[in-house]
Amino acid sequence: MTDSRRLLVLVCALLIAIPGCAFRRAVSNEWLLEADTSAITVGESDWLDVMRALSLPPPDVPEEIGIRTAGRDLIHYGTWDSRCFTVGSELFLVVTPFRWCSRRHIYELAVEFDEQGVVNAVHETTRGNYWPPFQSEADVEPTVTRGLGGTPDP
């Protein structure tokens, strides 16, 4: 084997062995963070008013499209955040053995209806997300739930 070929083999072997790392983030339905809920009032708005203001709850991921339906008693909206750190380049490895992920709803909006279809509570929940293994649950702001549209805070 010539020096050039040896070198080529060496470079290829090193490239495969180099533990590449990746930071991957996926956010879905971020628009909800700025959605206007001022038109939804407890005791006055009905489910059609909610749908006029926010439309129906969109699914989090494409796989869920077509199987989630809006119930008469509760409509739930969510913003989903996924943060993954992997070691081992996915360009070369079929399975990346070192993978840390944190997937969670960073924002949720739940609208409850009474038996007449009138809104009787609106709650929003915000929670932080983090990059494992560099951060942990202790590094994010605490989860907060509050009432909207005349709903008292829990």
Q: Does 15 bind other proteins (CB under 8 A)?
A: yes
Q: Does residue 27 belong to the site contacting other proteins (CB under 8 A)? A: yes
Which is nearer to other proteins, 29 or 150 (by Cβ)?
29
In the set 41, 46, 49, 59, which binds other proteins (CB under 8 A)? 59
- CB burial of residue 137 (10 Å; 0-12, 13-18, 19+): exposed
- The two structure tokens encoding residue 19: 């533990």
Tell whether residue 125 is a contact of other proteins (CB under 8 A). Answer: no
Q: At 34, is the secondary structure helix, strand, or coil?
A: helix
Instruction: Name every residue whose Cβ is closer than 8 Å to that of residue 55 and which is 6 or more positions away in sequence.
Output: none
Stretch that binds other proteins, among 29-37, 95-103, 118-126, 139-147 (CB under 8 A): 29-37
Interface region with other proteins, contact rule CB under 8 A, candidates 85-93, 95-103, 118-126, 137-145: 85-93
Q: How many residues does the chain have?
A: 154
Q: Does 56 bind other proteins (CB under 8 A)?
A: yes
Which one of 27-35, 97-105, 118-126, 137-145 is the stretch in contact with other proteins (CB under 8 A)?
27-35
What is the helix, strand, coil percentage profile of the chain, to 5? Answer: 20, 35, 45
Per CB under 8 A, the segment of 38-46, 63-71, 96-104, 118-126 that binds other proteins is: 63-71
Residue 39 near other proteins by CB under 8 A: no
32 exposed, middle or buried (CB, 10 Å; 0-12, 13-18, 19+)? buried
Give the closest residue to 96 by CA, choosing from 19, 12, 11, 14. 19
Which SS3 state, helix, strand or coil, does residue 142 take? coil
Q: Which residues bind other proteins (CB under 8 A)?
A: 3-4, 7, 10-11, 14-15, 18, 20-31, 48, 51-52, 55-62, 65-66, 69-70, 83, 89-91, 131
